[in-house]
């Protein structure tokens, strides 16, 4: 674990992905905004779960894994009330965890189709 000051955004992404994999997150991918000017974050990580309980468990796992691996806590957390779409904001990395239908409705991947999108191959 580090003090969080010398971490790269990619190290945070790796910890997020590890947390999602730990609870069997579905169709995990991350979007790299490095080549785009004036973006809100360096990375978005997107995944979904099969129910509100699964989505909440994924978010809790991400929070725990990022804290364990990097020492960082999210700046902001939203969506735990109904767990349709939970957002975890680590400033340079923003995590979006959806229920399947909500993910399909908002379709963030297509909004950012002109960026580099990396699909995570599941270890499961």
Domain contains 39: yes
Q: Which CATH number do you get for residue 90? A: 3.30.460.10
- pLDDT tens digits for range 20-44: 999 999 999 999 988 788 888 999 9
Domain contains 123: no
C-alpha to C-alpha distance for 85 and 82, rounded to whole angstroms: 8
Neighbours of 42 (CB within 10 A): 20
C-alpha to C-alpha distance for 66 and 1, rounded to whole angstroms: 10
Please count the structural domains in the chain.
1
CB 111, CB 96: distance < 8 Å:
no
Average pLDDT, the chain: 91
Domain range for 25 is 9-116
**Nearest CA to 44 among 58, 60, 59, 28?**
28
Average confidence (pLDDT) over 48-60: 97
**Between 114 and 89, where is the model more confident?**
89
Domain contains 122: no
Domain contains 48: yes
Domain contains 29: yes
- pLDDT tens digits for range 61-79: 999 999 999 999 999 999 9
- State residue 57's pLDDT score: 98
């Amino acid at each position: 674990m580090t003090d969080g000051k010398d971490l790269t955004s990619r190290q945070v992404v790796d910890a997020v992905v590890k947390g999602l994999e730990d609870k069997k997150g579905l169709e995990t991918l991350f979007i790299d905004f490095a080549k785009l000017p004036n973006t809100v974050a360096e990375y978005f990580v997107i995944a979904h779960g099969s129910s509100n309980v699964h989505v909440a468990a994924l978010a809790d796992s991400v929070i725990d894994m990022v804290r364990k691996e990097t020492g960082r806590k999210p700046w902001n957390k939203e969506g735990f009330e109904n767990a349709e779409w939970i957002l975890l904001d680590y400033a340079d990395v923003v995590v979006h965890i959806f229920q399947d239908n909500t993910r399909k409705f908002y379709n963030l991947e297509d909004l950012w189709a002109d960026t580099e999108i990396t699909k995570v191959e599941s270890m499961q």
